[in-house]
């Protein structure tokens, strides 16, 4: 285990507490005026929207730390996974403490709810500052790109045999049935052929989340995400077919 990996693991263990403290400060800042007045005005709606983004981003960081630690325990935390963790967590921390992009042209900043000091405190936390300094940097991104370009992978296992089997099945289908034709469909503005849709139906694509008693597979939303991801890998248009409306 390299010194960088040792550092990474140490910071993965301690980071969630610091991020959680920031989320709690944001929650208090938003909820206090609402609890005092008992009313929800238009300004508060934006603050609540921002809070939801703060909480979601923090949860993404927490899940990333759990993923990294689980990989380490299983002996599967390699260079690709370490670099992906550094880039992803570093960027999310930057967004949390400066400006969260809630859409292409809408940012939510700590000062909007008066938690600039708490954001600065999070940036100064030992683990957060390590990710900010060594996470989403040009050098780390270059290393990650080189890792993938040289044939290196990033662990995609979900620690669930069924979900991993679903991923493998749809990856094969996408590579064999969609990828060879996807560019032609796009350039000629063609609809996805009925024959391909029929094969997707035979796989159960359109009933992934539907309970088995109603004729579906009953695999849940995470399985649907896996299916959509694998189909979109070959063609975004085909991937959209599996999403619920």
Identify the band that residue 240 occupies on the pLDDT scale cut at 50, 70 and 90.
Answer: confident
Pair (139, 176) in one structural domain: no
* Range with lowest mean pLDDT among 22-36, 48-62, 118-132: 22-36
Q: How far apart are CA 68 and CA 107, in angstroms?
A: 29
Pair (83, 183) in one structural domain: no
Identify the band that residue 245 occupies on the pLDDT scale cut at 50, 70 and 90.
Answer: very low
SS3 106: strand
Q: Where are the beta strands (DSSP E) in the chain?
A: 100-103, 106-108
The CATH number of the domain where 132 resides is what? Answer: 1.20.140
Q: How far apart are CA 50 and CA 112, in angstroms?
A: 9
The sign of the CA dihedral 223, 226, 232, 236 is positive
Domain that includes residue 135, residue range:
3-149
Task: Please report whether residue 219 resides in a domain.
Answer: yes
The CATH number of the domain where 234 resides is what? Answer: 1.10.540.10
Pair (169, 137) in one structural domain: no
Pair (38, 113) in one structural domain: yes
- 30 and 48 in contact (C-beta within 8 Å)? yes
Task: Please report whether residue 154 resides in a domain.
Answer: no
Task: Please report whether residue 155 resides in a domain.
Answer: no
The structure's pTM equals 0.82
Q: Please count the structural domains in the chain.
A: 2
Question: Which distant-in-sequence residues (6+ apart) come within 8 Å of 155 by Cβ?
Answer: 71, 76, 78, 80, 81
What are the tens digits of pLDDT across the range 145-167? 999 999 999 999 888 999 999 99
């Amino acid at each position: 285990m390299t010194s960088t990996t040792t550092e990474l693991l140490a910071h993965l263990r301690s980071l969630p507490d610091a991020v959680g403290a920031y989320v709690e400060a944001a929650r208090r800042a938003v909820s206090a005026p609402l609890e005092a007045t008992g009313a929800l005005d238009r300004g508060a709606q934006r603050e609540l929207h921002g809070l939801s983004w703060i909480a979601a981003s923090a949860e993404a960081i927490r899940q990333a730390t759990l993923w990294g630690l689980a990989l380490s325990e299983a002996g599967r935390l390699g260079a690709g996974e370490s670099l992906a963790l550094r880039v992803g967590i570093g960027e999310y921390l930057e967004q949390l403490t400066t400006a969260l992009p809630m859409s292409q042209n809408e940012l939510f900043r700590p000062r909007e709810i008066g938690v600039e000091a708490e954001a600065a405190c999070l940036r100064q936390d030992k683990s957060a500052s390590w990710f900010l300094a060594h996470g989403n940097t040009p050098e780390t991104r270059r290393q990650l790109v080189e890792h993938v370009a040289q044939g290196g992978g990033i662990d995609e296992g979900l620690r669930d045999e069924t979900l991993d089997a679903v991923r493998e099945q749809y990856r094969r289908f996408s590579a064999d049935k969609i990828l060879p034709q996807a560019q032609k469909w796009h350039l000629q503005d063609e609809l996805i052929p009925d024959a391909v849709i029929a094969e997707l139906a035979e796989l159960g694509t359109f009933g992934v989340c539907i309970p088995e008693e109603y004729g579906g597979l009953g695999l849940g939303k995470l399985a649907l995400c896996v299916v959509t991801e694998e189909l979109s890998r070959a063609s975004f248009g085909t991937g959209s077919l599996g999403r619920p409306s």
